[in-house]
Structures are given as structure tokens and as C-alpha cells.
Copies of this chain bind each other. A is one copy, B any other.
Amino acid sequence: MIERLCIIGVGLIGGSLARALREAGACQEVVGAGRNTGNLQTAVGLGVIDRYDTDLAQAVSGADMVVVCVPLGAMEGVFSAIKGQLAEHVVLTDVGSAKGSVIEAAQRVFGSVPEFFVPGHPIAGTEQSGVEASFSGLYKDRRVILTPLPETDAHATDRVRDLWEAAGARVTDMDPIHHDAILAATSHLPHVLAYALVDSLSRLDDSDELFEYAAGGFRDFTRIASSDPVMWRDICLGNGDAIQLMIEHFIRDLQGLNHAVQDRDGQQLLKIFTSAKAARDRFMEKQ
């Protein structure tokens, strides 16, 4: 049982976690923190949090669990604001989509990574953002990856695992570098491609007409291009090395496919498409 949960950044991710934990009866009090008073008032009105404080040092005071749910670029500022203000028995975790950069930020602020800090990442979300879009079922049967370091207190890791399991998620531990490579492939690259495609088409001369004739395939393919641009800028900055490698890998493969188009090599095209369909169908079977 969490006595006082502090959620820093009450949007889709933080709000949905608070809702899930309240619904599961896993916490007694939820304190919201952030810069936007209007948003925090909305969160109170929606019953997502009990109260809020825009002063982070005040907000974390006495909390036994602090979850930082801000874009990657804002993590370091949050760590600086709460340093020295945390309760003695606190457990601190975050939800950043890249782990290496959050760990480095914690190192810079605290001198070394505190033993009470458990880096984490729930693999869930929608292209929506904001507390209004939050719902208690967001983490149901979703994966959460924790990337504790050798210096992390095992008891703290257990408490963060319990928290996500109470929200309905399946929790795995992983090395942070491995996490960042995997997410670059399955999440960061597809988002970059969706943004790049829509941007590329929107800058063509006849883009208005183009979009008029786009259909369901285009709609689904580009759904993730409606995601929050600030969040994705921060992910590209925070996991830049792994993302760059994946983009280069993808461009090489796409150039190979383009050669097959150029050479009208039906056999090679059929081979690529058949193998991709098989892999995609296997992926769907596991969902």
C-alpha cells in the first residue's frame, strides 16, 4: 500500500496511473504536481488526484512514492527541484521512453544514481495527451520495463514492480542500453517514419489534393504522427544514438527495396512483402 503517491506531470500517463492505482485501492492519497494550475485543477475535478501543489519541493514532501511523468527534456529540472526534499523512505521512479538519458540526468543532479531511484518505462499510450484523455485501463496487460542499476535498492525495485502490477501491467527488468535499443526499433523509428511521411507529403505542391484521396491505410499508418511533438523531440534527443542507427539501418533496407522497384524485380519484391506479412501476422497472433 502506498500512503502518499506524488505524480509529477498529471497528463495521459501520470493521470492514468493515478486512476488505476486508486481503482485498485493501492494508494491512500494522490498529490499532483506540475506547472499548469488549470490542468491540475481539472485533474482534481476529474477525481484523478486529491490535491496538488505547483511547488515540487512541497508536492513531494512526505510522499513514500514519487512518479515523474514529464517529457524527457524536463526530467533533470524536476530532479533538481526535488533534490533534498524527499522523505527518508521514498521510492522514486519515472516513465521516460528512453532510459539512458534519464539515468545520466539523475547522475548529474544527485552526484550518483540514488539507490531509491528505479528507472521505468510503461509501454502504453495513445496519440492523445492531457489528463482529460487518461483512463484507468491504459496499463491493463501492457508491458512495463524497469531498468534498475547495480546500485539500486532491490526493495525499491520491488515496490515499483508492485505499483505497476497493481495498475494491471506485466513488468520486466532489463538493462537500460538494451531497453533503449529495443524501443528505438519498435517505437521510436515508427514514430519518426510517420512524422517524416506526413511532413514530406504536406510539403508537396498538391498536398491538399493528396490528403483528399488518402484512405484508411494512410489514416492508421500516420496515427502516431498526431502524437505530442515536444515529447517526441525529447525522445529523439534523449535516445539519439540508438535512433540514428535504426534510421540508417532502415534507409539501407528501403534503398534495397527501391532497387527492386527500379529493376522491376517482382521476385525480390514478393519475397520482401511475403516475409514482412508473415512477421506481422506472427506479431498479431501474440497480441
Partner of A287, one of B219, B230, B287: B219
B236 touches A269 (CB 8 A): yes
B187 touches A217 (CB 8 A): yes
Interface residues on chain A, size class: 35 or more
A186 is an interface residue with CB less than 8 A from chain B:
yes
Interface flags, A217-260, vs B, CB<8A=1, else 0: 11111111111011011101100100110011111011101101
**Among A30-38, A86-94, A106-114, A201-209, which stretch is in contact with chain B?**
A201-209
Residues of A that sit less than 8 Å from B by CB: 73, 123-127, 142-143, 145, 182-183, 185-187, 189-202, 204, 206-207, 209-227, 229-230, 232-234, 236-237, 240, 243-244, 247-251, 253-255, 257-258, 260-262, 264, 266, 269-270, 272-277, 279-284, 286-287
Q: Point out the residues of chain B lying under 8 angstroms from A232, CB to CB.
A: 269, 273
Q: List 12 A-B contacts (CB under 8 A).
A: A196-B272, A196-B276, A198-B277, A200-B254, A218-B283, A220-B220, A221-B223, A221-B224, A222-B283, A233-B266, A237-B266, A248-B258
| In the bound complex, CA of A222 to CA of B227 (Å) | 17
B225 touches A280 (CB 8 A): yes
A284 touches B217 (CB 8 A): no
Secondary structure of the A contact surface, majority rule? helix
B193 touches A283 (CB 8 A): no
Q: Point out the residues of chain B lying under 8 angstroms from A258, CB to CB.
A: 244, 247-248, 251
A223 touches B220 (CB 8 A): yes
Nearest CB on B from A26, distance (A): 23
